[in-house]
């Protein structure tokens, strides 16, 4: 997705977080133990659904913090309750709603620490397009796939909720 301005990036993240919340609400009605599916994973070496929630939220969260000239601050990846997961989404939505940066922010250089003494320096636009959005969608789709794998009755319509306001009938 080409990034156009701060507002469009914020809107994209916000609408997809709403989709994530919808997926979680659908999943919680599918299981007797309301928090059990948070530990589901696709394969043993992948992180569980709850962690996918935290990692999905980290991308827009760190975008909002960067827009406010604050350092990145990742959420605790050990998500053990739906209450915690919903709080992560709500807090991330709140941070996004509070963005007051100018579009010129997207021309600034952003240093991304990658661990093991590695880093990348990217323009703000590249930070969004090459780092934040790919990571965001990776974890959102992984969360979706975990739910599909464990039998939650969701489909593409649930994933593409952001298009509903644009749908028309002939």
Taking the CA atoms of the chain, what radius of gyration do you get in angstroms?
A: 16
Place of tokens 């043993």: 44
Record the pTM.
0.93
**Are the beta carbons of 50 and 39 closer than 8 angstroms?**
yes
Please give the angle made by the CA atoms of 107, 105 and 85, to the nearest 5 degrees: 120
Q: What is the pLDDT of residues 71-116, one digit of tens each?
A: 999 999 999 999 999 999 999 999 999 999 999 999 999 999 888 9
**Are the beta carbons of 35 and 86 closer than 8 angstroms?**
no
pLDDT at 2 exceeding the cut of 70: no
- Under the phi-then-psi rule, with left for phi > 0, alpha for psi from -120 to 50, and beta for the rest, what region is 151? left
Domain annotation for the chain: domains and CATH numbers = 6-164 (1.20.120.450)
């Amino acid at each position: 997705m080409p990034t156009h301005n701060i507002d469009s990036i914020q809107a994209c993240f916000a609408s997809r977080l709403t989709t994530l919340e919808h997926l979680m609400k659908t999943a919680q009605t599918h299981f007797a133990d309301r928090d059990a599916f948070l530990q589901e994973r696709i394969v043993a070496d992948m992180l569980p659904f709850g962690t996918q929630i935290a990692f999905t939220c980290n991308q827009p969260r760190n975008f909002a913090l960067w827009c406010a000239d604050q350092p990145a601050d990742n959420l605790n990846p050990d998500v053990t309750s739906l209450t915690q997961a919903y709080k992560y989404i709500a807090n991330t939505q709140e941070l996004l709603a509070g963005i007051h940066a100018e579009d010129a922010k997207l021309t600034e250089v952003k240093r991304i620490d990658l661990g093991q003494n590695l880093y990348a320096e990217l323009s703000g636009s590249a930070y969004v397009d090459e780092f934040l959005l790919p990571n965001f969608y990776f974890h959102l789709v992984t969360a979706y796939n975990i739910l599909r794998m464990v039998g939650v009755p969701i489909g593409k319509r649930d994933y593409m909720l952001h298009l509903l306001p644009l749908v028309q009938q002939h």
